[in-house]
Amino acid sequence: MLFDDPVFGSRVLTLLTLSFHIIYATIGVGVPLMIMIAHWVGIKKKDEHYLLMAKRWARGFAVTVAVGVVTGTAIGLQLSLLWPNFMELAGNIIALPLFLEVFAFFFEAIFLGIYAYTGDRFEDKRKHFLLLIPVVLGAAASGLFITVLNAFMNSPQGFDIVNGQLTNVNPIAAMFTPAMPTKVSHVLATSFMTAAFMLASIAAYKILKGSNHIYHKKSLYMTMKIGLVFSIAAALIGDFSGKYLAEYQPEKLAAAEWHFETEEGAPLLMYGILDDEGEVKYELKIPYGLSILANGNPNSVVIGLDQFPEEETPPLIIHYFFDLMVTIGGFMVVLSLVYWIGMKRAWSFVKSNWYRWLIVLGGPLSFLAIEAGWWMAEVGRQPWILRGIMTIEEAATSSDYVGLMVILFATLYLFLGIGTIVVLRRMFKNNPVELELEQQEAAQGGETT
């Protein structure tokens, strides 16, 4: 059978779970800030449309949080079931951020519930706004702590292994690894970026489907501006990430760039294919680009795959993941920048249907870029699960039931994905913006009377 090899089955199930969970994790980290910004703009401008945005986004966000709990729990379960040897070692070193991530999530969820169900009880919207501060901090902290674990896997420290025994464990040092700053900042920036473009995509779609309500136009304009800011931030942090890889994980950078031989003034390769002889064809070559990305110096030396044993070379497929991530990121920067300038200068084409369809496409594309980034990060660390210390084969379970687990969890994710779409669609279809605004106006009129 396909999953007779427990190592292969464990890798497939982990890939499936992470790929599904990252959708909800990205929403979980990014959307609270969007809610907070909308609420703040509503208070500042005394505009009920922005306050309603915050209210509706919070309502939909609560659904994704519930599903995220299930997928997050699945990851925790699978770490122990599929990678027991890894958890036996790493659990003694890096358990602290795992505990803190759970605490941060509950901190976020508690205040989100209070915010979502007490809006009508606050006459002063500024006091209601204060409830969002712990929601945003909890969401960001949750993303931070779980990313700390991933950073530890890429640059493990804070312990020694002497004669096969774990000694000198320092949980704080294990959290603050060289990989942590760039990984955490990149995860947060891309989460905020993706959440903004997701909401912009929804607003553009509603306009294309015939809604001419100012609510959707305000939502589109605000979220595209936010998306522009964080897409630029993600690009800048991506540059720092390249420099981190050059110093600490040069084999991953070399594999991502199909950089086979160490050289100075190395070009950056985008796209292309590898032929049977290992030669690159049809690539886009940017002179000195890789040396600039790696060291900020066009004449610097960049280490190639020729400096690493073949068994420690990451899969070369990560080149395509890198290309996909960078291409989509660049597209979203240009798309949002042109939209912002076009709205300022009254360029008519940014209000055209074809441009709005590009914005609609930008939402799913942003999630695809997130997926590609994580695939590059995880596949690019192989053959290691804990770089330089433990390989995938050494960490995996030897259970014969991994294949059955793949089927069961795949079925669960299918139902969760479909269920999320159905619930959100019914929630907002049965309670459109126009109806909520009418109800608000009627309620305010009744209070005045």
Residue 205 belongs to some domain of the structure: no
Residue 397: predicted pLDDT: 87
∠ CA 397-402-404, nearest 5°, is 165
Q: What is the pLDDT of residue 274?
A: 86
pLDDT over 70 for what percent of the chain? Answer: 95
Q: Name the domain boundary from 380, 409, 440.
A: 380
Evaluate whether residue 202 is within a structural domain.
no
Question: CB burial class (10 A; 0-12, 13-18, 19+) of residue 449?
Answer: exposed
Instruction: Report whether 21 contacts 71 (CB < 8 A).
Output: yes
Instruction: Select from 325, 355, 380 the last residue of a domain.
Output: 380
Q: Given this model, what pLDDT does residue 243 score?
A: 92
Asked if 236 and 375 sit in the same domain, the reply is: yes
**Residues 422-434, mean pLDDT to the nearest whole number:** 81
pLDDT at residue 2, as a whole number: 57
Whether 70 and 142 map to the same domain: the answer is yes
Phi, psi (deg, nearest 5) at residue 194:
-65, -40
Q: Does residue 444 carry a pLDDT above 70?
A: no
Please write the tens of the pLDDT for every residue from 10-51: 899 999 999 999 999 999 999 999 999 999 999 999 888 898
Same domain, residue pair 286 and 350: yes
Task: State which of 67-71, 126-130, 153-157, 428-432 shows the largest mean pLDDT.
Answer: 153-157
Asked if residue 267 and residue 342 are part of one domain, the reply reads yes
pLDDT over 70 (residue 417): yes
End residue of a domain, out of 331, 357, 380: 380
Radius of gyration of the chain (CA): 24
Mean of pLDDT over the chain? 88
Counted domains in the chain: 2
156, 177 contact by CB (below 8 A): yes
pLDDT score for 448 = 47
Tell me which range, 76-80, 252-256, 396-400, is most confidently predicted by mean pLDDT.
Answer: 252-256
Rounded to whole angstroms, what are the CA distances from 337 to 203, 228, 291, 330, 359? 17, 6, 28, 11, 12
Do 35 and 99 belong together in one domain? yes
- Average pLDDT of the segment spanning 361-366: 95
Question: Domain range holding 422?
Answer: 1-179+391-449
Whether residues 105 and 171 fall in one domain: yes
Under the banding of pLDDT at 50, 70 and 90, the label for residue 356 is: very high
**Mean pLDDT of the 252-258 span:** 92
Q: Are the beta carbons of 131 and 137 closer than 8 angstroms?
A: no
296 and 418 together in one domain: no
Instruction: Summarize pLDDT for 307-317 with one digit per residue, the tens.
Output: 998 888 999 99
Please give the pLDDT value at position 449.
43
